[in-house]
């Protein structure tokens, strides 16, 4: 008994000694695991809310079935026969393939993996420039919270990733560092240009980085900036110019070539979206994400203002990013990353010693803890195809669409802007009246549709409503109440989400 007691005390002492030696490493491992589990908590919900993912999926399906890109719009009655460019075609066929492989859980998988990849790049941006683990973790956590509104299954998730990669390359070159890996950036731009039109933001970042040394050298407010930036000089400038030129050339490696830039101009000129599309409107500061973004921006301005000498690169980047983010909340990621670049540049270490971002030998434990956490979340929330379908049916007219399909209604169909994408996916044989592709429908048509659905002046005179044989309406919309009293239509189906009206005989 005495021997057994002595052995147990000895074992306990050894464990306590081991914990004492590895306490810091264990703390870091646990904190990193929690940080990387945060997005999983937000994203892994058994529902698909995003209204645009559906038409992206149907576009991917159309491309796979036809073996080519659509030249005209195949989904809407208004766009039928009109030119349409599927500029996110690579994203669309990839998403369709993922959904075919994993079901609608593939949508959640894409979102989570996209966020994790972005976090890894941000972690590198911060960790290679800050030596304090608390600072690294704090900046990463605030950045993730500020970006959380963008964690949706859209192409912009990959835009944030590619922009972060570009930012890492630019900051490294400005600090006098160079790597052969940087020359892979043009390949990333070749992919990016086939995924999302906002590749233009990355080219803008490279352009600002190319112009900044000239501004710093010759423009009076910044004239002495280059003198204090001993690690940034003209020897790196030709490399940056060459890299920028190659990235710009890589964006022509798409089926649309030069025409892709005309789409950028066309979308930029379509200003009505800023009024009627929520993601295009200014931040409302009703969420933690908005305030986290504002906090990062404010601290970056203070950091910038306290410097005796500052570069035009940071000033120009912050100005452009602030204008974009405060104009439309879909660009808040731009300001978050711009602010982060200012905050970490202040923390650049004088020495270039390697500091492990993840504690040495703890990459596998962190990965295992995160994987176990994800499995627990999946099990607790019961994320299955049936559960996703059940919850998604509370936001979209799943049962109403099944009824329309069963009854073989042929249209013309009249539908709300928010449901157009889902109906494109669920009822591909019916041409929708309206969907989220603003470049197809134009500002005037979308505004007219919104007026009709809210029961505004002249709703009865809407020509598309007058021609419609089938109306799939949100149950709580003003138009649904008005059509109940309209002798031209009768209720054919109704549930807790949607009402189907058909033309009276």
**Residue found under tokens 């709300």:** 416
Reported confidence tier of residue 234, pLDDT bands at 50, 70, 90: low
Return the pLDDT at 18: 47
What the block records as the tokens of 494 is 């109704």
How many Å separate Cα 99 from the centre of its chain? 18
Return the pLDDT at 37: 93
Query: Omega into 245 within 30° of 0, i.e. cis?
Result: no
pLDDT of 8 higher than 60: no
pLDDT one-digit tens code per residue, 454-480: 999 999 999 999 999 999 999 999 999
pLDDT of 94 higher than 80: yes
What the block records as the tokens of 3 is 């021997």
Reported confidence tier of residue 14, pLDDT bands at 50, 70, 90: low
**C-alpha–C-alpha distance, residues 300 and 342, integer Å:** 6
Length of the chain: 505
Distance between first and last Cα of the chain: 94
Q: CA angle 344-349-353, nearest 5°?
A: 125
Reported confidence tier of residue 265, pLDDT bands at 50, 70, 90: confident
Between 230 and 13, name the one with better pLDDT.
13
Return the pLDDT at 17: 56
Nearest alpha carbon to residue 152 among 107, 193, 117: 107
**Rounded average pLDDT over 6-16:** 57
Residue ranges of domains in the chain: 154-349, 391-503
pLDDT one-digit tens code per residue, 31-68: 888 999 999 999 999 999 999 999 999 999 999 999 99
DSSP 206-250: HHHHHHHHHHHHHSGGGTTHHHH-TT--TTTHHHHHHHHHHHHHH
**Rounded average pLDDT over 230-237:** 59
DSSP label of 74: S
Longest C-alpha distance within the chain, in Å?
96
The sign of the CA dihedral 245, 246, 250, 256 is positive
Q: CA angle 28-34-35, nearest 5°?
A: 90
Q: Which stretch of 92-106, 202-216, 306-320 has the lowest confidence by average pLDDT?
A: 306-320
Q: Is 15 exposed, middle or buried (0-12, 13-18, 19+ CB in 10 A)?
A: exposed
pLDDT of 362 higher than 80: no
Q: Which stretch of 33-42, 359-368, 496-505 has the lowest confidence by average pLDDT?
A: 359-368
Return the pLDDT at 296: 96
Reported confidence tier of residue 153, pLDDT bands at 50, 70, 90: very high
3-state secondary structure of 499: strand
At CB < 8 A and 24+ separation, what contacts does 192-195 make? 192/158, 192/159, 192/162, 192/251, 193/250, 193/251, 193/252, 193/253, 193/254, 193/260, 194/88, 194/89, 194/90, 194/91, 194/253, 194/254, 194/255, 195/88, 195/90, 195/91, 195/155, 195/158, 195/159
Sheet architecture: strand order including 470-474? 413-415, 470-474, 498-503, 489-494
Q: What is the mean pLDDT of the chain?
A: 88
Reported confidence tier of residue 130, pLDDT bands at 50, 70, 90: confident
3-state secondary structure of 93: helix
Return the pLDDT at 353: 46
Nearest alpha carbon to residue 73 among 87, 86, 61, 57: 86
C-beta of residue 293 within 8 angstroms of C-beta of residue 283: yes
pLDDT of 172 higher than 70: yes
């Amino acid at each position: 008994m005495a021997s057994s007691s002595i052995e147990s005390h000895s074992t306990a002492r050894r464990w306590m000694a081991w914990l004492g030696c590895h306490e810091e490493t264990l703390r870091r491992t646990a904190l990193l695991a929690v940080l990387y589990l945060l997005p999983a908590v937000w994203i892994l919900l058994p529902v698909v809310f995003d209204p645009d993912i559906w038409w992206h999926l149907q576009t991917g399906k159309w491309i796979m079935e036809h073996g080519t890109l659509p030249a005209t719009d195949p989904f809407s009655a208004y766009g039928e026969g009109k030119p349409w460019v599927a500029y996110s075609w690579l994203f669309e066929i990839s998403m369709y393939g993922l959904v075919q492989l994993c079901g609608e859980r593939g949508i959640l998988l894409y979102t989570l993996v996209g966020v994790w990849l972005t976090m890894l790049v941000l972690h590198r941006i911060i960790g290679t420039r800050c030596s304090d683990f608390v600072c690294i973790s704090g900046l990463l956590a605030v950045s993730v919270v500020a970006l959380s509104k963008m964690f949706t299954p859209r192409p912009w998730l990959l835009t944030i990733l590619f922009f972060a990669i570009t930012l890492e390359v630019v900051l490294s070159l400005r600090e006098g560092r160079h790597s052969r890996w940087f020359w892979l950036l043009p390949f990333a731009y070749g992919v990016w240009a086939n995924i999302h039109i906002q590749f233009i933001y990355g080219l803008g970042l490279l352009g600002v980085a190319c112009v900044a040394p000239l501004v710093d050298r010759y423009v009076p407010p910044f004239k002495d900036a280059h003198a204090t930036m001993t690690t940034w000089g003209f020897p790196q400038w030709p490399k940056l110019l060459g890299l920028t030129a190659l990235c710009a050339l890589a964006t022509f490696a798409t089926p649309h070539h030069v025409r892709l830039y005309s789409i950028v101009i066309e979308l930029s000129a379509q200003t009505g979206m800023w009024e009627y599309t929520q993601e295009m409107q200014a931040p409302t500061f009703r969420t933690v994400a908005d305030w986290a973004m504002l906090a990062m921006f404010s601290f970056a301005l203070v950091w910038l203002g306290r410097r005796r000498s500052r570069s035009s690169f940071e000033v120009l980047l912050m100005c452009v990013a602030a204008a974009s983010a405060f104009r439309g909340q879909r660009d808040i990621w731009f300001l978050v990353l711009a602010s982060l670049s200012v905050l970490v540049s202040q923390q650049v270490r004088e020495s270039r010693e390697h500091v492990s971002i993840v504690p040495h030998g703890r990459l596998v434990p962190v990965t295992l803890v995160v994987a176990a956490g994800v499995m627990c979340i999946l099990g607790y929330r019961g994320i299955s195809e049936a559960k996703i379908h059940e919850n998604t049916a509370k936001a979209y007219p799943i049962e109403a669409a099944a009824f329309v399909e069963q009854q073989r209604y042929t249209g013309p169909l009249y539908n709300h802007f928010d449901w157009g994408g889902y109906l494109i996916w669920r009822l591909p044989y019916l041409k929708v009246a309206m969907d989220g592709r603003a470049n197809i429908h134009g500002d005037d048509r979308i505004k007219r549709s919104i007026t009709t659905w809210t029961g505004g002046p002249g709703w009865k005179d809407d020509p598309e409503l007058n021609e419609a044989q089938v109306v799939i309406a949100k149950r709580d919309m003003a138009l649904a109440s008005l059509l109940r009293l309209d002798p031209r239509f009768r209720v054919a189906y109704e549930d807790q989400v949607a009402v189907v009206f058909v033309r009276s005989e």
